[in-house]
Amino acid sequence: MLKFLKQVVDYGKETAQAAKYIGQGLAVTFDHMQRRPITVQYPYEKLIPSERFRGRIHFEFDKCISCEVCVRVCPINLPVVDYEYDKATKKKKLNSYSIDFGVCIFCGNCVEYCPTNCLSMTEEYELATFERHELNFDNVALGRLPTKVTDDPMVTALRTLAYLPKDVMEPHDLPAGSQRAKSN
Amino acid sequence: MNSGIDLQGTFIQSLSDFGISAELAKVFWMPFPMLLMIIGATVGVLVNVWLERKISAAAQQRIGPEYAGPLGVLQPVADGLKLVFKEDIQPAKSDPILFTMGPVLVVMPVFLSYLIVPFGQNLVITNINTGVFLWIALSSIVPIGLLMAGYSSNNKYSLLGGLRAAAQSISYEIPLALSVLAIVMMSNSLNTIDIVNQQADYGILSWNIWRQPVGFVIFWIAALAECERLPFDLPEAEEELVAGYQTEYSGMKFALFFVGSYVNLVLSALLVAILYLGGWSSPIPIDMLSNLLGVDPSTSWVQVVDASLGISMTLLKAYFLVFIAILTRWTVPRVRIDQLLNLGWKFLLPISLANLLITAALKLAFPTAFGG
């Protein structure tokens, strides 16, 4: 009889505890309702990519010496380097250069190893096209100056969390000239 | 206790003055409350969908619908329009009659249940003496429709969802009915209006929630399970069952399920408000207020204020409960089917039985406080 009573009491305690935890959970959910939305209203607001962001690759035609290091370090030998040997100057002459961004994984090895720094990373990440072939950028497309979200008058550029001042959690309405928190 | 505004009586009276017989006048009157009920329930659903999306967004630190109308209020209308214009797909090997009957059987009883929801002394469509009983009877038709939909879809996910829905509805109906029974015992009536009037004497202090706290909790849990709301939404658990019995549905038939589930949520919230939170009565009785201000409670403008206050009070209480339901949705994880049945049969059922017995005992012991 006592054992049964103890079971009943334990069951009651467990129930009360479960109810308590549900109450605590409800309090957490309720507390979230008064917090400011953390979402970025994408086409109108955009986050500024960090300085190490690996976006579309930029290519400078005149700097390239057609050494094909980018092809060798690429995991899938993606860059297409079309050159011919100029007997008169005894140098390779680059005809065209292309990278297919539909296949590229943006690992940045080509940029890392390029001996003349003719390859570089940009902040561009909006590469969507209507056709796959349009993603195959030739040297003209690769040489276009990259756009910046901070230059776009249609877009409110927002800083990401790491670039906000100390103890500031959200990027809207920052005072002008505010600096990012110093890392220790 | 004054009788309040009697629109039906006034309407019939005014038509009778034109020389139309009282029976004919009543026939003329009948379409109005019906139409009002359908429009009211549908608008309630739209408000509910909007609230659900906005509150869910807020609980997850999002914004939610924003561009369709001010604050996105037209988003549910847009959703509904989209569903109206979508193709009605009938799976090749499904049972066409049952497949169409399913959603209809789910929606009809829910809309019919609005007949017994009172918004004021005379603001109810049918004042029948077995009001709450009618609602319980109607709500047990719904699982048949769900089972029909799940079985006729000829899809294993649909069938599983339908079976789960049926099992869930049947097991939670019993604690629901038992907790309603305790209320009925206290108010000596199955009539929703009598139940509200019985709670009206001392404002917020006389609401049934103080005399039936356990019943209130059981009723609310069981109502959430009947509506298949999270944490009890396992008939349509999307991670395991795609969409349960709704998997094969599209267009208007899917919209019927969708509307049905939201109407059911509003209805359950309304019934909790009526059974436990004093229905249309305000926290401070309006008679007391008008006496305090020195106005006769039977003057016409007080009556109008009383009626509109009653409607807004009922809706306010109901939507507060809807808000709680949405908050619960983002707080509590979904239960498993065995946990669900354990909760229903081993926890809620014995406790609601004990609650009923204790209510009966208290009624015998303190007939003044527990409605002798």
Domain ranges of chain A: 57-143
Confidence of residue A106 (pLDDT cuts 50, 70, 90): very high
> Are residues B75 and B343 in contact, defined by beta-carbon separation less than 8 angstroms?
no
> Are residues B223 and B272 in contact, defined by beta-carbon separation less than 8 angstroms?
yes
| Chain B residues closer than 8 Å to A39 by CB | 61-63
Confidence of residue B5 (pLDDT cuts 50, 70, 90): low
Give the nearest partner residue to B331 out of A15, A26, A36, using CB atoms. A26
Q: How far apart are alpha carbons B82 and B79 in whole angstroms?
A: 5
What local confidence, expressed as pLDDT, does residue B2 receive?
Answer: 47
| Chain B residues closer than 8 Å to A38 by CB | 61-62
Helix (H, G, I), strand (E, B) or coil at B194: helix
What local confidence, expressed as pLDDT, does residue B281 receive?
Answer: 77
| Mean pLDDT estimate for chain A | 88
* Torsion of Cα atoms, B233 then B239 then B241 then B247, to 10°: 90
pLDDT digits (tens, 9 = 90+) for A55-79: 999 999 999 999 999 999 999 999 9
Q: Residue A118 annotated as binding? A: no
Instruction: Please name the CATH architecture into which domain A57-143 falls.
Output: 2-Layer Sandwich (3.30)
Give the nearest partner residue to B61 out of A26, A37, A41, using CB atoms. A37
pLDDT digits (tens, 9 = 90+) for B37-90: 888 888 888 899 999 998 898 888 888 888 888 888 888 888 888 888 988 888
B63 token code pair: 């914004």
- Which of the given ranges, A95-104, A152-161, B207-216, has the highest pLDDT on average? A95-104
Q: Directed axis angle between helix B131-139 and helix B156-187, to 10°?
A: 170
In sequence order, the 6+-apart residues with CB closer than 8 A to the CB of B18 are: none
- Continuous segment of H or E residues that includes residue A100: strand A91-100
Q: Do B61 and A26 touch (CB under 8 A)?
A: no
